Amino acid sequence: MPIYKPKPKIPAAAFSIFYFLFSIFYLADAQISPQFLISWQAENYAPNWYQGKILPTKGTPVEINFELIDNGKIADLSKTKVRWYVNDELVKNEDNGLGIKKIKIIIPDYAGQETEITITVVNYKGGEQLDKIIKIPVVRPEAVINVPYPDGKIGYGVSVLEALPFFFNISNLAGLSVDWSASEQQAETGAINPWQLNLEVDPAAPPGFALRISATIKSFLNQMEFANKEINLLIK
């Protein structure tokens, strides 16, 4: 009669120690490879309360910075060749100096495309070449109408709306104009704040009547920079 011999089991404590040591060796090995820490900032317009990423449009100046992190420390690249490419075209290299960690470019691409930035660190520590590619999304200017009324329902009398521009290549609102219309008719705004529309609803208008509001924002400096937003409001 065959004798059953159970297979030896690895004690849980031994397995835990093995996993712990493996994790340490894995993390130590991962730290050997230098890592790029990259940031970029588009120099175009968004309201000062906006906390999202400001995205570039065609023609927007963008500053790109990087640090090379090696074993948890910022690497000294002051004597190292760094080459920058924009859409595969070399724009800056060691002829401009060593250790270049910052450039400013003008976005060449159109909305819906991406501008590709390649950073190459040449002969890092005497031999290794390091490359990093980032892609910056390009958008078109946007117009937003702020409607502080639930479900877009307004009452009789005056309702206040506000137009907000995003991602135009300007430094302040003086570089833009805004035109309002209500139900296909041009709406007049106050001279003090053209970005605000004081919409007065005629008491004769029936409840449930829809008003189509439009705001068109244009740049004084570039006629190709414009944005339009349309919304529907209901009289409650």
CATH number, domain of 180, equals 2.60.40.10
Say if residues 42 and 60 touch (Cβ distance below 8 Å): yes
Residues 19/23/24/26 CA torsion (nearest 10 deg): 130
Question: Total domain count for the chain?
Answer: 2
User: How many angstroms separate the CA atoms of 227 and 98, rounded?
Assistant: 42
Say if residues 140 and 109 touch (Cβ distance below 8 Å): no
| Predicted confidence (pLDDT) per residue in 7-16, tens digit | 444 444 434 4
Residues 60 and 153 both lie in one domain? no
> Considering the entire predicted model, what is its pTM?
0.81
Residues 187 and 109 both lie in one domain? no
Residues 124 and 156 both lie in one domain? no
Give the domain extent around 117.
Answer: 34-137
Query: What is the helix (H) or strand (E) element at residue 31, kind and residue range?
Result: helix 12-32
Domain boundary residue among 137, 157, 189?
A: 137
13 occurs within a structural domain: no
| Predicted confidence (pLDDT) per residue in 179-234, tens digit | 999 987 888 776 689 999 999 988 888 999 999 999 999 999 999 999 999 999 99
25 occurs within a structural domain: no
Residues 113 and 170 both lie in one domain? no
Domain boundary residue among 88, 115, 137?
A: 137
Q: DSSP character for 175? A: G
Residues 126 and 146 both lie in one domain? no
